[in-house]
Chain A
Amino acid sequence: MHETVEHIQLNSKKIIDGDIKVYFCLILLLFVVISGEIGVYVLAFASFSCLSFYAAGRYYIKIIKIPIYFLVSGVIVILFFIPGKTVYQLYFLKISGEGVNIALNTALRALASLSIMSFMILTTTIPEMFSAFKKLKLPNFAVEMSLLVYRVIQILLDEAARLERSASSRLGYASRKVFVNTTALLSYSLFLKSLKRSEKLDRAMDARCYSGVMPILDVKNTGIYYALAIAVLLVALWWFL
């Protein structure tokens, strides 16, 4: 069965959980990006990779794989096109010392950031994230709108999957011409369904005394000591380097 990010988030093993996880990830992400120390990058990458791998196993590799493709291509460009004293030459391609430095720095910084973001993505659902943001005094309407939009997206994705299955079962993608026609019809149906859905949502909210409040999740904070230990290690490393 196709595994969605939501399923991975729900089934992941969370050493650090609750609002603290969101704050911890965002603060450390900021710290790692501005620290400018390769040692900090390496330690952050190692520790968050371990956390992510423990949380979601092979899905960590799956999720980090695609940005790494982009990162590798970017790093190669940096490696060959930064001017400076040549340290290695392959035919007409020259690699400068500065190029190596910048490429290494960029690659490690990006990997560290990616591992932190991946950990957050693999272990935090959207409602948990907005719950944490709301406690940081994010305006009510922003949280309410985001959560409603998220709920509607959930329903529309289910609806789209159903329509897609229906189209496939009746040879809706048999040829290129039919594919285009089916996609157009599917988009049109989905649009109509989304309009209908908004009416139903409005009615459901009315039926339950809606007055502008969207409840937020209250997930218990766990793993505070792990989070503190990682943060202290990173800051200490940065301080001493």
Chain B
Amino acid sequence: MIETRDLWFSYGDREVLKGVNFKANRGKVTILLGRNGAGKTTLLMHLNGLLKPARGEVWIDGIKVKYDRKSLLEIRKKVGFVFQNPDDQIIAPTVWQDVVFGPKNAEMSDKFAKKAIKYLELEGYENRLCNSLSGGEKRRVVIAGILAMNPDYIIMDEPTAGLDGFGLRSVVEIIEELKEGGKTFVISTHDLDFAKAVGERFVYMDCGKIVHESDRIDLTIANRYGLRMGNVRGRLVVVPHNVEIPEIDTDFIAAMGIKAKERAFKEGLDVDIVDAVLERSILRAVEGHTVLLICSAEMMSVVEREAKKFPIFFEVLDKVSCGVSSNKIGRDDKGVEAIKHGASGACIH
């Protein structure tokens, strides 16, 4: 396990890490999410001993990191670091020279380098000059350079930056296969598709602190902390039949269950969706619409369970349970649309 305890770091007067307590479990893929400048890269560089904290400690497999040359060498054999820009990491002019750079310097055999070249389909590229490679090929070269040292932990700083769909899929496959082989990953990204594809634990950073941790992506949190949301735009606002119906601007109104339909009729609402209500409401939300779903209070748990499986913003307005006085949609101080005083959540598995 890699762990940081109360980690503080600053570049000059600017504090970048403010007491970070981070954990990455062995054999898992931990995703570090956050906007630009949140401190993700700085935290990652501490995990490989590239930066020395101003205060706090880094622990790897139960051993506290020391910053003398010999200890750092041991850490770097154990923890490989893949930089965001492959050109920053490629040191040698040709593919083979770059891949074996680590093993030669660490006085290891080039057994793993040969394996890495084969595994990353770089056979035949050994004598190629690195500046003649495409972005995706360079990415594979830097990953091969790290695998050549056979580290237990692999740190990746935004590995999908600048990659096309093929490149992204290739990186996802590589990570999944290596994970099967027992490698541990700590990856920083603001690409939710990628995070969703490989992640097992999600850690959100903002302003040098860890602000949220979970086992699944929380779209509301992700939105709040400036992550790219892809095409997630729609909102499903769910109201139990026995609470006050909020006055919100919606594209569709749906009523699910007899009690909900009676309530909608009583309120004089023009209901658009009355059949296959849950499926059609989710579909409309996936399309990017805002759907107000009035449902029987007994069905709330079913709606919540199903809705959280889809890439939509899911919000529950439950005046009774939350004891709120107003349910109007507004904007929070971060400029993110949110329901004031309402319980809300949005997840994709």
Number of A-B contacts (CB under 8 A): 101
Contacts of B72 in A (CB 8 A): 206
Contacts of A216 in B (CB 8 A): 97
* A184 interface contact, C-beta 8 A: no
Contact B91 A217 (CB under 8 A): no
Instruction: Known contacts A207-B48, A207-B50, A208-B101; decide if A215 and B96 are in contact (CB<8 Å).
Output: yes
Contact B101 A10 (CB under 8 A): no
Contact A217 B130 (CB under 8 A): no
Instruction: Known contacts A203-B50, A213-B105; decide if A155 and B96 are in contact (CB<8 Å).
Output: no
The interface bits of chain A over 138-177 (1 if a CB of B lies within 8 angstroms of the residue's CB, else 0) are 0000000001101100110110000000000000000000
Contact B93 A150 (CB under 8 A): yes
Contact B76 A208 (CB under 8 A): yes
How many residues on B have C-beta within 8 angstroms of the other chain's C-beta atoms? 35
Measured in the bound complex, the distance between the Cα atoms of B92 and A150 in whole Å is 9
Tell which of B90, B93, B102, B131 touches A209, judged by Cβ atoms closer than 8 Å: B102
Tell which of B91, B102, B146 touches A151, judged by Cβ atoms closer than 8 Å: B91
* B231 interface contact, C-beta 8 A: no
Contact B76 A207 (CB under 8 A): yes
* A200 interface contact, C-beta 8 A: yes
Contact A201 B97 (CB under 8 A): no
Contact A155 B87 (CB under 8 A): yes
Contact B105 A219 (CB under 8 A): no
Tell which of A126, A158, A206 touches B93, judged by Cβ atoms closer than 8 Å: A126
Measured in the bound complex, the distance between the Cα atoms of B275 and A19 in whole Å is 77
* B169 interface contact, C-beta 8 A: no
* B66 interface contact, C-beta 8 A: no
Q: List 26 A-B contacts (CB under 8 A).
A: A10-B129, A125-B93, A127-B92, A127-B129, A128-B127, A147-B93, A151-B92, A151-B93, A151-B130, A154-B130, A157-B131, A201-B91, A203-B50, A204-B91, A206-B72, A207-B50, A207-B89, A208-B105, A208-B146, A209-B73, A209-B77, A214-B97, A215-B100, A215-B104, A217-B127, A218-B96
User: Given known contacts A207-B76, A207-B81, A217-B94, what 14 new A-B pairs fall within 8 Å (CB)?
Assistant: A6-B129, A10-B127, A127-B93, A127-B97, A128-B127, A147-B92, A147-B93, A151-B90, A151-B91, A201-B91, A203-B50, A207-B48, A207-B89, A217-B96
